Amino acid sequence: MTLIRPADAPKTILIVIGTRPEAIKLFPVIHALQRQPGVRLSICVTGQHGQLVADILAMAGITPDWDLAALHPGQSLDALLARLVPALGKVMDDVRPDWVLVHGDTLSALAGALAAHFRGIRIAHVEAGLRSGDLWAPTPEEAIRKMLAALAECHFAPTHTAAAALRSENVGPKAIYVTGNTGIDALLSTRAYVQTAPQVLAAVDALLQPFAGRRLMAVTVHRRENQGRPLATIAAGLAHLAARPDVALIYPLHPNPDIRRVMHAQLGQCPNVALIEPLDYPSFVALLDRVDLVLTDSGGIQEEAPALGKPVLVVRDRTERPEGLAAGTALLVGTQSAQIVAAVTQLLEDAQAYAQMARAHNPYGDGKAADQIARILVHES
């Protein structure tokens, strides 16, 4: 049974946040909804990324109303989902929202959508319609995206390609809104903040100072499907590149001990590699702003780096963000050492190839997605 409220009653929206990327991409939406009259906003963090989410929300001046602290060490994906669905359901029973807003392709988003569906609460999905075309790459994200498309009533697609993917799965066109990606909103506002935060700039400058005069490359590798042999071949390619005297690699390491072990073994003794702890978001934005190019398997960075004019080499075999490939801002290089080395070498040694990628149009939005989402959600019947 769907909850019914008088037409003049405040609209109640519950936002579910589980991971650091969700916090980054949803804080502009929260700010936009806070500016809308007639909105009662509740924010629930699930604890999937714990302190990483807390740091982002604190930076954005946001205090969550609920913290489920649901993640336990060594917890399996199905066990986490089993904890999250009833916990979020209890929150919804207390809040009685008109809408539950979820983002992306995480277990927290799926749990929020399931709990809402069981209660007849309308579901809105931010960053809807991303597809790799392979149910197992990435896993479980691709499957979660498809499940969310079946559950949501309002789909905020970041691009026309994402909207077309939803239509191909029989999502009604009237339920799809192309808004751009809220990650660009977050990036641009954080970049502006960084320019007024001398402590952030000083820390990043100190990190880069030992590598003055070298071409700088930011590296992030963490995806589940790249662990094992792909991770080893990626690391070997990075070690080959690190042997160049004109290059420096800045690599904020993922907390996963398997990733750390492989990368320390291959890169730990390289003098022009900085294996560092994960950076807070403002510091990472400042780093992106200063490097020459980016090598990553991250989804969000495929969107962020082009907005700063940084070529992106994607160390995956498939991507759910084909717009960057089509625009020329990103290049899919796979996980084999030789391919990685060849692609990076071309950008380092071919000024025209570098300029073509650095100057390519960013297809992911203009930084106004959050305001569009807030207006649409508030005025939906």
Q: What is the CATH number of the domain that holds 58?
A: 3.40.50.2000
Confidence at residue 20, expressed as pLDDT on a 0 to 100 scale: 92
Same domain, yes or no: 372 and 353 = no
Residue 244 and residue 137 share a domain: no
Give burial (CB, 10 Å; 0-12/13-18/19+) of 254: middle
Express the helix, strand and coil content of the chain in percent, nearest 5 each: 50, 15, 35
Residue 353 lies in a domain: yes
Residues 349 and 318 in one domain: yes
pLDDT of residue 379: 85
In-domain check, residue 4: no
- State residue 8's pLDDT score: 54
> Pick the catalytic residue: 22, 98, 127, 323?
127
In this structure, are 298 and 162 located in the same domain? no
φ, ψ (nearest 5 deg) of residue 3: -65, 140
| 141 catalytically annotated | yes
Residue 155 forms part of a structural domain:
yes
Residue 380: the pLDDT is: 72
Domains of the chain: total: 2
Q: Which residue among 22, 98, 141, 185 is the active-site one?
A: 141
Spans in the chain with pLDDT lower than 70: 1-9, 381
Query: Each residue of 346-368: pLDDT tens digit?
Result: 999 999 999 999 998 889 988 99
pLDDT of the residue at 378: 92
129, 212: one domain: no
Residues in a beta bridge with 16: 44
25 and 78 together in one domain: yes
Same domain, 347 and 370: no
Q: Both 161 and 24 in a single domain?
A: yes
Range of the domain at 159: 11-181+366-379
**Residue 210 falls within a domain, yes or no?**
yes
What value does the CA radius of gyration of the chain take, rounded to a whole number of Å?
Answer: 21
Catalytic residue (choose from 119, 224, 290, 375): 224
The sheet that has 39-45: what strands, in order across it? 66-67, 39-45, 11-17, 99-103, 122-126, 154-157, 176-178
Q: Which of 22, 98, 105, 297 is catalytic?
A: 105
| Stated pTM of the model | 0.89
Cα 346 to Cα 331: distance, rounded to the nearest angstrom: 12
Residue 127 phi, psi (nearest 5): 65, 50
**Is residue 1 situated within a structural domain?**
no
| Beta carbons within 10 angstroms of residue 380's beta carbon | 15
* Residue 276 sits in the same domain as residue 372: no
141 plus 252 within the same structural domain:
no
**Selected catalytic residue, list 222, 240, 260, 375:** 222
Do 99 and 204 lie in a common domain? no
> What pLDDT was estimated at residue 226?
80
Euclidean distance between CA atoms 224 and 228, whole angstroms? 9
Q: Are residues 125 and 203 in the same domain?
A: no
Whether residue 222 lies in the annotated active site: yes
Q: Is residue 97 part of a domain?
A: yes
Q: Is 292 a catalytic residue?
A: no
Rounded Cα–Cα distance for residues 322 and 344 (Å): 20
User: Which amino acid makes up residue 332?
Assistant: L
Q: Is 127 a catalytic residue?
A: yes
pLDDT of amino acid 222: 86
Indicate whether 120 belongs to any domain. Answer: yes
Whether 5 maps to a domain, the answer reads: no
State the catalytic residue, choosing from 40, 117, 119, 254. 254
Q: Determine which helix (DSSP H) or strand (DSSP E) holds 252, and give its type and residue range.
A: strand 247-252
